Structure 1
Amino acid sequence: MKVVTKALCVLLMASNAMAISTPKVIYGKDDRKEIKEHSSRAVHKLSQSVAGMVNFYDLSPSRYNGYSTYSSLSLGERINACPGERFVNQPTLMSCTGFLVGEDTLVTAGHCVREVSDCTYNKWVFNFTVDDELIKDQDVYGCKEIIARDEVSLPIIGTTDYAIIKLDRKVKGRAPLKFRTKGKVKNGADVFVIGHPMGLPLKVADNATVKGSFGKTFKTNLDTYGGNSGSPVFNEKTGEVEGILVQGAQDFDTSGYCVGSNFGQGHNEIVYKITRLKALQELFEKGKL
C-alpha cells in the first residue's frame, strides 16, 4: 500500500471520508467525467448499481418526507485546492465505493470495512450524482453483516483486499452487476471505472487499459483517487466487472502553497481480480446471489 505524505495525511484525517482511502493518481489527461456526460447508456445503467459509503452522522432527516440532507466539506475546502483543480465546489461525502453483486449483497475493498463498527456506523448510498442536493431515503442502505473480508499486501504473496457485505434489505430497482467467473482479463484490454474519487459524486473514468497482470491483481492507468477504493473496474467490451480498485500512486502534490492533483505517466492503479475473490465465486456457484 502506498504511503501518504505527512502533509496530505493532516488534510485527509480531517474527515472519515478520506481517512481510510488509499492514494491514486491522474495519468495523462484527466478522463473523469460526470455520469450524465458519458455518451453510453450502458454506463448510465451500470452506475445505478454503484454505491458510496457514508458516515451515519453525515446524514440527517430532511423536512421533505422520504429524503435526507447531508453534511460535507467541498473538495476545495477539504484539500486547500490549487486554482484550476477540478470539482472543487462539489461535496466530498463518500469514504469508499462499493457495487451490487446480489439483491442484498455488495462488494467493496477490505480496507474500507475493517471492523464491525465500520459496518454499523456507515451507510451505503446508491447513485449519488452531482445534481443531488437531497438524498432519497430509498437509496440509502445499512450494512447488516460482513460476510467475508481479507486484506493482505505483501511483496511475494501479493495484494488481497476485499469485503463482501450483506445490506439491511433487498435493493430495489437496481440490477446486480455481472462479474467475471472464469478465465482472465487480457493485457491491453480496455477498462473503465465508476466510483467516488475523493468522496465526490459519482464519476466515470475511461480511456484506460490493462497494463500487466501478476498473481491476484492487474495494473491499469485509470484516473482514480482515494475514495475510489472498492470501485468496480469494468471490461469495456463485455461490461463485466473485472476487479476491485484497491491501490494506486500518490494523489496530490502538497509541496506548494496549495494542493493539486499529481499528473504522471505509468500504470500504477492496482485492481484486485474478481476471479480471485473465492468467497464471491462460491456464492455465485451456489446460487446465493
Structure 2
Amino acid sequence: MKRISKVLRVGIKFAVAASFISVGAQAFDKRTKVVYGKDDRLDVYQVSDPALLAMADSTAAMISKANLALNVSTNVVAIAQGSFGADYGLCKDEPFFSQPNGAMCSGVLVGPDLLATAGHCVSDFDCSSQSFVFNYKMGGPGLNPAMASGDDVYNCKKVVARELTSNQDYALIQLDRPVVGHTVAKLSATPAKQGDSLILIGHPAGLPTKIAGGANVRKDETGYFVANTDSYGGNSGSAVFSAVSGEVVGLLVRGEEDFKYDIGGQCTRSNYCADGDCRGEDITHIEYVIKALKTVQ
C-alpha cells in the first residue's frame, strides 16, 4: 500500500535499508513504487499539451488538515511541508531533490463533489482529518507550492464507497462542497488490456503533481492490472489514463520498492528497473469506481 504514513525520526541510515525511513517524519510502505526504464516524470509547467493539462486539472493531493492553515481574510492556505531530498536522505542528483513533499496520497475528480482514490489512503475513521488540494503543482523552476487558494482546498466529508482487499483497492469520497474550476475526469467503460499505452498523473513521494507517460499494461489480473508506470509512495490513488482516449482506466495502488541505499554515497537513490523487469505496479480497474458512482448519482 502506497499511502505515506507518519513515523518517528530515525537518525541512522543502514546500508541494508530495504524499506526507507525518513528524516522528516514521513515514510513509505516497503512495497511502494519505482522508475521503469527512462524516468518519464514531468512537472506540469513542462507540459504544453492541452489534453494532458486537462487530465492534470482533475488531480488532487491528499494533505492532512493539520498541515493546512487558512488565512480567512485573504482566503489563502499555507501548506506545512518538508523538503523531498532532505527529508528522505536522497543523493543530491536525485530528480526533484529540492521540491516540497506535502501530499500523502493522490486522487482524481470523478463527479461534481466526488473524488476517487485508493482504499488504503482514507477510511471512515480518518476522513474528517483529510483534505484534498487541487493545483498542488510547481509554478515553474524553483516556484514551490507553499500556498494554495482556499477555493482549491476541499475536505473529506464522507467515504461513499470503499473496498480494500488483495485485489481491489479504491475509495469514493464525497467532498464538503462541489468543486469549482476543475475538470471532472472521463472514466473509461473499456477495460485496459495488455500493451495499452498509459499516462500516470499524481503525487509521487508526496511531490507536486507529476505527469508520467511512457508506460504500458503488462498483464491483467483479477480486479486489477499490472503496468510499468514510474510511481512512488504518494502516487496511491493517482489516476492512470489511456494515452489514446485520455480517459481514466484505473487507480494506482501498489508496486515495487521505491528506493535503494547507495552504500558508497551514503544516500538513497530511486530504484530503477528495466521496462520489463521487477514486479510492476498494480492498478485497480476503474470499473469499480464506475459501479460505486451509479449508487450515488
Same fold (TM over 0.5): yes
Q: What is the aligned length?
A: 275
Matches within 5 A, 1:15-54: 15=26, 18=27, 23-54=32-63
Distance 1:238 1:280 in 2: 17
Which residues in structure 2 correspond to 1:1-289 (within 5 Å)? 8-11=19-22, 14-15=25-26, 18=27, 23-62=32-71, 65-117=74-126, 119-131=127-139, 132-153=145-166, 159-181=167-189, 183-254=190-261, 256=263, 257-265=266-274, 266=277, 268-275=280-287, 277=288, 280-284=290-294, 288=297
Find the aligned partners of 2:221 and 2:92 in 1 and give their Cα distance. Answer: 38
Shift of 1:212: 1.0
- Which has a greater percent of helix? 1
Q: Distance in 2 between matches of 1:180 and 1:224?
A: 21
Helix, strand or coil for the counterpart of 1:10?
Answer: coil
1:146 and 1:164 in contact (8 A); partners too: yes
Determine if contact 1:21/1:95 at 8 Å carries over to the other structure.
no
- 2-structure distance, mates of 1:142, 1:106: 11
Q: Give, in whole Å, the separation in 2 of the partners of 1:192 and 1:151.
A: 24
Moved over 6 A (4+): none
**CA RMSD across the alignment:** 2.2
CA contact (8 A) 1:103 1:175 kept: no
Moved more, 127-136 or 60-69: 60-69
Superposition deviation, residue 64 in structure 1: 6.5
- Which string of whole-angstrom CA distances, capped at 9 and with x for unpartnered residues, describes residues 149-204 of structure 1? 11111xxxxx11001110000001112111122x4222111100100000000000
For the residue of structure 1 that corresponds to 2:51, the secondary structure is helix
Instruction: Give CA deviations for 1:241-279 in whole Å, capped at 9, x if unaligned.
Output: 00000011010002521111011122601111111x1x6
Q: Structure 1 stretches of 5 or more lacking a match? A: 154-158
TM-score (norm 2): 0.86
Letter in 2 for 1:30: D
